[in-house]
Amino acid sequence: MRIVFIGPPGAGKGTQAAKMIETYQVAHLSTGDMLRAARDAKTEVGAKADRYMSAGELVPDQIIIDIIAERLANPDCRKGYLLDGFPRTIAQAEALDAMLAKKGAPLSVVLELRVPEEALFTRLSGRGRADDAPDVIRRRLVAYRKQTEPLLAYYNQKGLLQTIDGLGTVEEIFDRVKTVLDRVG
């Protein structure tokens, strides 16, 4: 299965992604994790990305697209993968479509984890990550609304979108995820 996982910051994507990887044995491709690793390794790309990340803004599309293109070429992606936090803009989604068309391996499903905005702010404030300061959180939520939400219509039009209610316990939410994935895969 080739899965795209979309949801606002604080929706609980990381927790659900970990459970999906384990249950469905797909590769986990988190652009946030890749960027944090690049930043910690003090690479040139990492330093550049960090300026955007700490401001709560999206890293420029071309940087992200290059990182993902390289990662998708890795043999472990042949067993299927979960794209977590990518794509986040229409330009990234179009670039992904082009890459996958070339490989002849289209997406299986796009999962949206939906959580009302009031709940997100509370969850993020309790997390303690460097980019979880209140003004940065606000900017990340705005980036989601403006740049990432348009992807929902984009994928809905392609018949790929499945929306999951992100309120409830971890297990309740994962049951909803499984219901969708077992139907697809």
CA 102 – CA 134 distance, rounded (Å) = 42
Q: How far apart are the first and last CA of the chain?
A: 6
Stretch that binds ligand AMP, among 18-26, 86-94, 160-168, 171-179 (CB under 6 A): 86-94
Q: Which is nearer to ligand AMP, 62 or 179 (CB)?
A: 62
Q: Which of 7, 8, 9, 12 binds ligand AMP (CB under 6 A)?
A: 9
Nearer to ligand AMP, 112 or 131 (CB): 131
Tokens of residue 75, six digits: 């043999």
146/185 with CB nearer ligand AMP? 146
Closest CB to ligand AMP among 127 and 182?
A: 127
Residue from 58, 82, 111, 164 binding ligand AMP (CB under 6 A) = 58
What phi and psi, each to the nearest 5 degrees, are found at residue 30? -105, 115
Q: Which residue has the tokens 């491709």?
A: 29
Strand order in the sheet with 27-30: 27-30, 81-84, 2-6, 109-114, 161-165
Residues at the site binding ligand AMP, with contacts judged by CB under 6 A: 9, 31-32, 35, 52-53, 57-59, 64, 85-88, 92, 131, 140
